[in-house]
A = this chain, B = another copy of it.
Amino acid sequence: MEKSYVVGIDIGGQTAKIGIVDARGTVLAQTAIKSNDTQSHEVFIDNLCNAVKSLVEKNNIVMDQIRGIGVGAPNANYYNGSIENAVNLTFGGMKIIPFAQLMTEKIGLPVRLTNDANAAAMGEMTYGVARGMKDFIMITLGTGVGSGIVVGGQLLYGHDGAAGELGHVTMVRNNGRICGCGKSGCLETYTSATGVARTARELLDETDRQSLLRNIPADSISSKDVFEAAQQGDELAKDIFKFTGNMLGQALADFVAFSSPEAIVLFGGLTKSGDLIMNPVVESLNANVMPRWKNKIKVLFSQLKESDAAILGASALAW
């Protein structure tokens, strides 16, 4: 039987999205399951395999037509197919899960794993705004900050498969914010969606400035609240985006010195804030980059639907 389809899976902190993809890159059908309702990776893999099978059957495809499964997940190791110390996953924690092997044993199909940001980069390169580019950096701005680095048309995996942890370069060397990774001052603690909320709480706490955000209980302020306040002209909220974009631009300037990309593609929840984040990022990048690259590096928002990019990218692993 001809194996005309692949399955792409995007595992995030809250949900795992599953899609059936054909050779033209169309997501024929998709579904999602919770990824945070168990601390057992065995239970999660069972749930995931059941969801895949049920999605396939519902769409009048048989499992024999599926060539393989590509999975994007946090802390995934491309080389050995394991998920390593994924502290942001409830079933993760400080352990090494041979995810691809366990899933293959369960479902009888080859499974390839890569980290979620790499999967998004593959999706962007194949179907998105980085089509035809050989050198670009994908930065995902979600709960955390992830990255997928493409050099010479290939994803950069490095010696151990874990290259591209750009959320964890150190931006603040003294009294930096504590990061989930065990370090402090990491980019992620400032420019992720949670970092934006953290900045809001700090600013509200440390100053007397008026702000619409004071109407919201400090603990429940989200980056979306900050965005909405900024849209209504709230100066403090606008300053939070300036601070965030400035920090991100400084980091991007250093990344450019590393791999000299044609473009940097921003992806994830925070990009919904549009110019509020883009303008300070571009300004800061050009103020901090070496003169040879000033105004030469494109900064682009992803063109793919957030759900599709990761599913498509992960599915590309399975061909």
Contact = CB atoms under 8 A, between A and B. Distances in A.
Given A152-B154, A158-B135, A288-B183, A166 B257 contact: yes
B159 A260 contact: yes
A292 B181 CA distance: 9
A259 interface: yes
A313 interface: no
A163 B150 CA distance: 13
Contacts of A135: 158-159, 163
Interface stretch (A1-9, A58-66, A117-125, A168-176): A168-176
A254 interface: yes
Contacts of A157: 152, 260
Interface string A235-267: 000000000000000100111011111100000
Instruction: Tell me how many chains of this kind the complex includes.
Output: 2
Given A169-B254, A170-B250, A254-B170, A162 B259 contact: no
Q: What is the interface residue range for chain A against chain B?
A: 35 or more
A291 interface: yes
B154 A259 contact: no
Contact of A290 (B151, B181, B290): B181
Given A134-B159, A156-B151, A257 B290 contact: no
Nearest to A154: B152
A255 B258 CA distance: 8
A261 B160 CA distance: 8
A149 interface: yes
Interface string A277-299: 00000000000101111001000
A84 interface: yes
A275 B170 CA distance: 25
Interface string A112-132: 000000000000000000000
A163 B288 contact: no
Contacts of A169: 254, 257-258
B85 A163 contact: no
A161 B255 CA distance: 15
A81 interface: no
A20 to B, nearest CB: 31
A182 interface: yes
A164 interface: yes
A254 to B, nearest CB: 4
B259 A163 contact: yes
Contacts of A165: 257-258, 260, 290
12 contacts: A151-B163, A156-B258, A158-B260, A160-B296, A162-B293, A163-B260, A164-B260, A165-B258, A165-B290, A166-B258, A183-B291, A258-B258
Interface of A: 84-85, 134-135, 149, 151-152, 154, 156-166, 168-170, 173, 181-183, 250, 253-255, 257-262, 288, 290-293, 296
